[in-house]
Amino acid sequence: MLRGITLLVGSAALLVLIHLPYVRLPFHWDEMGQFVPAALDIYREGWWVPQSTLPNVHPPGLMAVVALVWRVFGYSILSSRLTMLAIAALGVALSFRLTWRLTGRKFLAPAVMSSLFLIAAPIFYTQSMMVLLDMPAMTLTVAALLLFLNRRYVLCAMACVALVLIKETAITAPVVFGSWLLFKERRRMEALYFAAPALALGIWLIILHRATGHWLGNEEFTQYNVGSALEPFHIFFATLSRAWFLFVADGHFIGTVALILGWRVLRGSDWTISFLVAGAQLLVVTVFGGAELERYVVPVLPILYAAMAAAALVLTTRWRWASQGVMLALLVAGWFWTSPFPLPYEDNLAMVDFVRVQEDAAHYLEEHYPSARIASAWPFTDAIMHPEFGYVRQPMHALKASELHIANITALGRDNFDLQVVFPNKKPVKGSVLDIAPLRNFLHHYYDYEPQASAEEIRQSIGFSPIQRWQRGSQWVEIYAPSQR
């Protein structure tokens, strides 16, 4: 018990230390588009189905936890980020224990290395402080897996109930557990325990359907994440993307070499169950989900890193430490290095640059144009309309365009706004390694990748010219005002 507490406190201290510059960072993208507003609805009004943002299938578990923290400590960005870091610290500590268990409690080095890989992974580094679902789902997945391997089936089923009320796609974990007990071990009574998570998720879906008329919350969400996602080319592209992210990107290719060389180490029922949990989760988030966000595979990372660290035991001590040291260095480099692929900003510290330049622009507008009608696109419009997101002190008037293409801007009507704010809400494809004919139509169809309005197009179409610009790394924001005649 004392060692477990020490491990948890140490993990928390390390995570807080390396995130200190960002514990008051204003909310980013889906945080303020979905999860923070949903948590505020619970905190302020007791609405379990959100009304201040578009409801969807995501259960209210995490939002309820965050709302409870706000109820105790008061609403703040700081309390939100520290809550997420605490959940992440628990996930790191549990991942250490999982690797130690999978290696037969004989080798401490793989447990240490797998935990360090997780902490250093760029996607975990950013997700561990953000009010999003996938890192908490990771923590509960590892907790449930450990309980199952220790044959504590009732507690495991309870952990799975909490898990599916955090992230609906995590229903795969109790399905694996129940199926293993039923078909492999012939333990029908214990297998029935794992019907409880499905029942809990079903109750949530009924509540959601009664409130919205849709089983997944809204028609647009259903079409994007189920309908269009099931198209064959989309699944093929998603599979390639997942394979690249898990086995090549950010130094993972070094761990993949270790897996190839040391796969014989990864034997036994414990490894099999772990791989089934990871594989089932990976399958669901690859087939479903229009956005194919890398954060969806965060629950798989502890098992992947445990396997990479354990497989490396077949190497000599010198080669093991050298290769794993290089992998750690590449993972940390991934915090700052921007991939040529159009990955989401939240995958590394590009999200901080994105938030900071938007914050700079919001402060400037609040100081110099507090009463102006400002045309832009989400998320900047929400950032300046809602002070609780951390960008402004008082709400400002915003006019929201669906995108920042010139057609979207002109459709707002020139006389309806005083200033225009432009920023790259998607990483440009033009000029990148993906700017090739076979992919252009695909990216346009699935991801709406089109060139944003240029300064010349804005000048010619609505008569606005740039007056201010901020840039951090590859992220920038420009403010346009009527051109001087």
**Range of the structural domain that residue 277 is part of:** 2-346
User: Domain tally for the chain?
Assistant: 2
With a cut of 70, say whether residue 159 has pLDDT above it: yes
Q: For strand 419-422 and strand 475-482, is the pairing parallel, antiparallel, or unpaired?
A: antiparallel
Whether residue 358 sits in one domain with residue 333: no
Please report the pLDDT score of residue 430 as a whole number. 58
Q: Write out pLDDT tens, residues 425-446.
A: 776 655 555 556 666 666 665 5
Q: Which of 32-36, 195-199, 262-266, 423-427 comes out lowest in average pLDDT?
A: 423-427
Average predicted confidence (pLDDT) for the chain: 92
At residue 11, does pLDDT exceed 90? Answer: yes
Q: What DSSP state is assigned to residue 85? A: H
Same domain for 304 and 368, yes or no, is no
Of 281, 313, 346, the domain-final residue: 346
Q: Report how far residue 403's alpha carbon sits from residue 200's, in angstroms, rounded to the nearest whole number.
A: 38
Which range has the worst mean pLDDT, 187-196, 200-209, 216-225, 451-460? Answer: 216-225
* Closest among 253, 245, 327, 310 to 282, alpha carbons compared: 245
Please state whether beta strands 419-422 and 373-377 pair in parallel, antiparallel, or not at all (unpaired). parallel
Residues 341 and 414 in one domain: no
Q: Assess whether 287 and 406 both reside in one domain.
A: no
Per-residue pLDDT tens over the stretch 220-245: 877 777 766 677 777 888 899 899 99
What pTM was estimated for this model as a whole? 0.94
**CATH number of domain containing 459:** 3.40.50
In whole angstroms, give the CA distance from residue 277 to residue 174. 9
What is the reported pLDDT for 70? 98
Q: Are 400 and 381 in contact (CB under 8 A)?
A: yes
- Residue 461: which H helix or E strand, with range? helix 455-462
Single out the residue in 346, 361, 392 at which a domain terminates.
346
Rounded Cα gap, residues 102 and 99, in angstroms: 5
Last residue of a domain, one of 346, 381, 398: 346
| Distance between first and last Cα of the chain | 74
Q: pLDDT class for 483, splitting at 50, 70, 90?
A: confident
Cβ neighbors of 53 (< 8 A, separation 6 or more) are: 33, 34, 37, 38, 41
Q: What is the pLDDT of residues 109-151, one digit of tens each?
A: 999 999 999 999 999 999 999 999 999 999 999 999 999 999 9
11 Cβ contact partners less than 8 Å away, ≥ 6 residues apart:
89, 90, 92, 93, 96, 115, 119
- pLDDT for 301: 98
In the structure, what pLDDT confidence band is assigned to residue 305 with cuts at 50, 70 and 90? very high
